[in-house]
Structure formats: structure tokens, C-alpha cells
Structure 1
Amino acid sequence: MTAPETRHPARYWHRLDDGRIECDLCPRTCRLHEGQRAACFVRQMDRGEMVLTTWGRSSGFCIDPIEKKPLNHFHPGSKVLSFGTAGCNLACKFCQNWDISKSRDMDRLMDTATPEAIASAAAHHDCRSVAFTYNDPVIFAEYAIDTADACHQRGVKTVAVTAGYIHGQGREDFFRHVDAANVDLKAFSEAFYFKLTGAHLAPVLDTLYWLRHETKVWLEITTLLIPGENDSDDELRALSDWVVRELGPDVPLHFTAFHPDYKLDRHPATPLATVRRARQIAMDAGAHYVYTGNVRDTEGSTTLCPACHTALIVRDGYQIMHYALTREGHCSNCGHAIAGHFDQHAGDFGNRRIPVRISAHAP
């Protein structure tokens, strides 16, 4: 079996007068000499051009519940084929997938597959969608775009789980091929972004605003709450107010609990009370759909009708216990239209997680 070509031409770069090339994909605008890799590690100057070294190479494939992305308003209960590559264009000290996103060992990418093979596998396993996740798909945009095209040809939708640190033509091209996105809004302060992610807040807010107002991508937002860093009432109120004012009250918000990991492995875990407090603050700010995550909290996982407050989707973990939406995605009690993409019946994949091996090429 021959692995896909690893020297894959990359887009979104230009030459500089001094012989270097500059990456135009994300706000880091890395400038590279021959042989040098960008901060994300997977984009490299090779023979005078930029290449994507992880095209066709993955850290693994797994079938997940769509709620794990997390997406609670995008075909609830359905199966999603998830995969990522290696590297990241942020440097989060609290990364929960650091063994993948911080990897500098290309030997970790044991699974190889063409976009057609991934689309074929998703269809074979009756997955409603394919998710680009585990590490940020922005940095393997070309591979994600090619895979999205193959998926759409088979009627499979695509999901991006991303920090939204992207700009320019790359952003337009990437999200044109995506049906739904969960964007990590890691905090609502520039100091947090600079200190704990090595990035900046403004480009993420730009991406969120652009996604909501300039695309048809279904959008949900996640904030991982780290005790003492981004969980104050003032910051949570400012974040919630901005989302409701600039994006609208129908964008679902997920506040998730941090567990000690990577460079914050001695930091305290997030108490259940904190994510519940964040949820209440966002609801008080006018957000219609607010969820808690990384904790077992049925109340915080339940989708409520904004009009009559009927419990429409009750979840136990990722398992849907009750589903009361009409075929059109309206509240079965009062008829209010619920924001999102829904089916007449919820999927029943539940809390499972199934690793999948994919042949390098489609059959």
C-alpha cells in the first residue's frame, strides 16, 4: 500500500523579495527560509514553494456522536467520522489534545487516506458528517477542502472544529466547503489569548462575526473555562453580551470544564458550579441555547424552547433521552422554530466511540 504523497502543494502564500516565502493562511504570517516549517509545523518551504506535509495523513479516525464536537443543533444523535492530522497554529498551554496538536513527530500519522477513501468510509458507516477535529483543520485546509468536496459528492456533510484563527482568502475558501463549525472562543480578553495561547483575540472575533453574517455555515461556540484565568463573572458577562449583540441569541454557547493537562497539569479542574454559573450568566444575557460540557449535567445538556421553555431535547451525556421537535424543527408544544438543523427523529448513536481503520485509497 502506497501512502498519499506528503509533498502536497499548498495554497495561501507568496514570495518575498529576500527569497523567503510568507504564509497568508493565518494571522501568524510566518516567513520561511528553504526547509523551514511554519509555527503550525505542517506547512513548509520546500524547493522554493510552500507544501503541506500532512496531506493524506491522519492521527487516526473515529466515529463519534455529533454532540461530542460539540454540536447540539446539527442533526442531534447522528454519527460523525472524526479525524485530524498533527500540529497547530496556536500554542495553548492548556491543550486537551496536546499529544496530537503539539506533535512534532510525523511518525504519529500512522493512518493514510485519500479524500475519496474518507468519504467512502463515512458513507459506508452511515455517518451523517465528517469532522475535521482533534487538531485545528485551518492548518491542513487543502486536505480538508479536498475531503469536503469528496464528502459532498456522496451526500455527507462536513464539520470543522476550530479556533477560528484564519484570515483572508483562506478563510473564504475553507468555510465555503464546511456545513457546520464549532469555534473555540478561548476567552474574552486579549491578555488571556496572548499569555496562554500565543495568539490574539481580535482575529477570532472577526471570524465569528464573518461566519455568522457572511456564510450559511451552522455555528456553535465553545469556551473552556479555566479556574482563575477566564471564568470571572465580568468576563463571562462580556463574552455573552458580545455574542448576543453581535451574533444573535440563537448561536448556541457551550461552557466546558477544564481538566489539568499539558503545561497546566497542576492547575485545578473546573468545578461543576462554575460551568453552571457561566450558563446562567449567558442565559441572563439573552442567549437562547446555552450548554455545559465535560461534566455530567442533564439540565445543562437540555435544549429548551426559548418561547415556552419546554424541554425539547434531553440528553444524558451524549445519549438523547427525549426528543420533542416536529419534522420542521419546531417546538412540539408552542410551534416556535428552533435554530439549527434537525431531523424528524433524533439519531441513536449515543455515548459510543468507535475507532475506524480506513484504506489509503477508496475502493
Structure 2
Amino acid sequence: MSSHAWLSHSLNDGRVACDACHHHCKLHEGEYGICGVRKVEEGKLRLLVYAKAAAAHIDPVEKKPMFHFLPNSHVFSFGTVGCNFSCQFCQNYDISQYPKTKEHRIFGETLTPEMIVALALKQGCQSIAYTYNEPAVFFEYTYDTAKLAHEAGLKNIYVTSGYETHEAIDAIAPFLDGMNIDIKAFSQSFYKEVCGASLKPVLDTLTYAHQKGIWIETTTLIIPTLNDSDDMLREIAHFQANLDPAMPWHISAFHPTYKMLHLPPTPHATLTRAYAIGKEAGLKYVYVGNVEDSAHESTYCPHCHTKVIQRKGHLGEKVSNTLTQNGACPHCGYSIEGIWEKR
């Protein structure tokens, strides 16, 4: 199944320009974008994975990770094959890189936007997450689903590498409630050599989405020897603190995978060091992930320092929330920043 990838425009030389992500692919007839799932056919850009979900699950929202977004609720998560990045540490490489390694073949279960919304409601989910691969590459599929979900009272979350264009953010913003955006490193060479992308567009997307009023949390997967220096972590933390000190920063442990089997797992001491760096930079909310560490995955009130949300588990998925319905600390009344109510 294919669908018109309408976030695009025709050029005077006969090519079609894709406007979904910052790669800005300009394609001749028959050519594929970097993502492997957007292709020019009969003069129009087509989304080859429209309504084809390669993965679909019901998850705790904390798994995304989103810690300040309807805690202890369930989210319907889905994604397709294809990605505009080529991260050598990708934990979902079997679907994200599939078209690039399988001669542009695709696969997926038929799940229309209508079916996804119906399933999410039936299963008692409060939100839908566009995840597992990069939502920007299947943008029109996400747009149609998010619009229907919004009309049905569900919230929408992008789990993304942050390569969306302003045009994409402008289009989806009325229906998009939250984003978890990766800040993979604070290094252009890291992004170019390890991910096949650039740093500046990510920071630009993060800033622009924040200005649009979308609730944002960020994630940095800390990879030993590559992005784990104090200077690197401090640059990430200071950038984020200057943008919004209330924006949660998730620090995740790396486990060897894909093309980085030669590197060791992230030591726990590195995670707690990064946690301290984030706090020193002025971030109100810093969390560790992919490890068992309740002390560093729980939420503390920035005003009175009381633990207001306790989390346990590798993903912080075991939750005990003491906040009031509108997100206030029960001890001092401080309004913890986040999305706490369904409506």
C-alpha cells in the first residue's frame, strides 16, 4: 500500500523535494529518500509504508520514556520500517534499517489510522506513540492517526531523533501533545560518523517544537568512549537548561548491539555522574534509564525536595504517584511541570 506523501513539493527541474525531515531529499522519478520508504512514483512522492505497521504494542508510557506525561498510563505504540538515520547502535535496526538492507523491500501488518485509534480505545490507552522507528519518515501516516486520535480524546507522542522540519512540526502541532527527542551527543562528528546526520537540525527542531508549546522530554544514550565525557554531557545539559530547566533529561545506559558489539555496557557510575552534571547545570528533572535505580528514576519536587513520584524497574515502569490530579506537590503545592490530566 502506498499513499501520497503530501509533505513535499515539485521542483522546476522535475524532481520532487521531500519536506518531512532536514535531509530535504530531492528525488528524480523512481528514486527513494534516505529513509527508504518515501519514493517518487508518477511524479509524486509516495509513502510506501502508509497503514503498514512493522511493530505495535501496548506499553507503559514510562517506556517511551515519558515521565511527566500521564504517569502510570498505557500508550498504544507503533512504527513502520525505515529511518532517516543510520545509527550504529540502533536497538530497532531490524525494522529501522530494513529497506536499506533488503533492496527497498518493506513489510508490515495492515493497521489503518482508524484501526489504531479503535484498538487504543478498546485497550484503555490514554495516548498513542509513534515510535520504534523515526516518525518523520512516515509523517502522513502519523498525521492522519494523530488527528483521529485527538478527536477521540487520546493524546499523541512522537519518539524521535528530532529531524522534523518546521513544516512538519507546524502541521502536526495541533494534534501532538508530547515528544521525546534524542540528543545523541553534542558533536557534529558523532552525528555524521555514527548516525549519518547532523547536530544543528536536531537542536533547531527541539527549540522550535518547544516554542510551539509541545511538552518535550529528551534522551541521551550514553555510549562508553563516544559521548560519555564530562565536557560532552555538560554541553548537553547546559543547552537544555538554557532552553528550559523544567525539560526532563533521560540518561540511558547503552547495551552492546548492532554495529557496536565491541563496546562495553555503560557503567552505573557514568550514569550517576551524568545525573549530577545535569543537576549542576540547573535541570530540575534528570532521570537514569535501562537500569534498576529507583533513587535516580523517581521525581522530586524542586521546591521542597520531597519524592513525589516513585519509580522502579529498568524503565521506571513501576509507578507510585502522589501528585494531585493537576500535578501539584502534595507537600508544598509546587506545580510540577508536565502533562498530568487526560484533558
Shorter-chain TM-score: what band? over 0.9
Aligned length: 337
Shift of 1:265: 1.7
Gaps of 5+ in 2: none
Shift of 1:24: 2.1
Residue 126 of structure 2 corresponds to 128
Q: Mean Cα displacement is larger for which, 161-170 or 51-60?
A: 161-170
Residue 293 of structure 2 corresponds to 297
Residue 158 of structure 2 corresponds to 160
Partner residue of 1:46 out of 41, 44, 65: 41
Gaps of 5+ in 1: 1-5, 345-363
Partner residue of 1:234 out of 228, 231, 236: 231
Shift of 1:108: 5.8
Cα distance change, pair 37–319 in 1 and its aligned pair in 2 (3 A): closer
Aligned pairs for 1:104-253 (under 5 A) are 104=99, 105=102, 109-213=107-211, 215-245=212-242, 247-253=243-249
Cα distance change, pair 108–298 in 1 and its aligned pair in 2 (3 A): farther
The CA RMSD over aligned residues, in Å, is 1.5
Cα distance change, pair 155–343 in 1 and its aligned pair in 2 (3 A): closer
Shift of 1:135: 0.1
Q: Mean Cα displacement is larger for which, 121-130 or 159-168?
A: 159-168
Residue 94 of structure 1 corresponds to 89
Shift of 1:111: 1.2
- Tell me, in whole angstroms, the C-alpha distance in 2 between the residues paired with 1:60 and 1:319: 20
Query: Is the contact made by 2:49 and 2:106 (CA closer than 8 Å) also made in structure 1?
Result: no
Query: Is the contact made by 1:76 and 1:342 (CA closer than 8 Å) also made in structure 2?
Result: yes
> What secondary structure sits across from 1:38 in the alignment?
coil
Provide TM-score, normalisation by structure 1. Answer: 0.90
Q: Which amino acid aligns with 2:60?
A: P
- Tell me, in whole angstroms, the C-alpha distance in 2 between the residues paired with 1:210 and 1:168: 7
Shift of 1:18: 3.0
Shift of 1:164: 0.9
Shift of 1:67: 0.3
User: Does 1:254 pair with 2:250?
Assistant: yes
- Tell me, in whole angstroms, the C-alpha distance in 1 between the residues paired with 2:106 and 2:293: 35
User: Does 1:22 pair with 2:22?
Assistant: no
Q: Which amino acid aligns with 1:236?
A: L
- Tell me, in whole angstroms, the C-alpha distance in 2 between the residues paired with 1:130 and 1:206: 25
Cα distance change, pair 56–218 in 1 and its aligned pair in 2 (3 A): same
> What secondary structure sits across from 1:172 in the alignment?
helix
- Tell me, in whole angstroms, the C-alpha distance in 2 between the residues paired with 1:25 and 1:322: 38
Q: Which amino acid aligns with 2:109?
A: D
> What secondary structure sits across from 1:264 in the alignment?
coil
- Tell me, in whole angstroms, the C-alpha distance in 2 between the residues paired with 1:121 and 1:275: 37
Any idea what the Cα deviations from partners look like across 1:131-179, whole Å, max 9, x if unmatched?
A: 0000000111100010011111211111110011021312211333211
Any idea what the Cα deviations from partners look like across 1:301-349, whole Å, max 9, x if unmatched?
A: 11000011100111111344532212221111111110012259xxxxx
Residue 359 of structure 1 corresponds to none
User: Does 1:278 pair with 2:274?
Assistant: yes
Shift of 1:121: 0.5
Cα distance change, pair 198–110 in 1 and its aligned pair in 2 (3 A): closer
Query: Is the contact made by 1:60 and 1:109 (CA closer than 8 Å) also made in structure 2?
Result: no
Residue 306 of structure 2 corresponds to 310
Partner residue of 2:332 out of 334, 351, 357: 334
After TM superposition, where is structure 1 displaced by more than 4 Å over at least 4 residues in a row?
105-108
Q: Which amino acid aligns with 1:287?
A: L
- Tell me, in whole angstroms, the C-alpha distance in 2 between the residues paired with 1:285 and 1:135: 31
Residue 103 of structure 1 corresponds to 98
- Tell me, in whole angstroms, the C-alpha distance in 2 between the residues paired with 1:275 and 1:67: 18
- Tell me, in whole angstroms, the C-alpha distance in 2 between the residues paired with 1:15 and 1:331: 52
Cα distance change, pair 72–321 in 1 and its aligned pair in 2 (3 A): closer
- Tell me, in whole angstroms, the C-alpha distance in 2 between the residues paired with 1:16 and 1:72: 43
Residue 351 of structure 1 corresponds to none
Any idea what the Cα deviations from partners look like across 1:277-321, whole Å, max 9, x if unmatched?
A: 111100111100000011111111110000111001111113445
Q: Mean Cα displacement is larger for which, 167-176 or 101-110?
A: 101-110
User: Does 1:33 pair with 2:28?
Assistant: yes
> What secondary structure sits across from 1:159 in the alignment?
strand
- Tell me, in whole angstroms, the C-alpha distance in 2 between the residues paired with 1:206 and 1:183: 12
Residue 52 of structure 2 corresponds to 57
Query: Is the contact made by 1:313 and 1:320 (CA closer than 8 Å) also made in structure 2?
Result: no
Residue 347 of structure 1 corresponds to none
Q: Which amino acid aligns with 1:87?
A: G
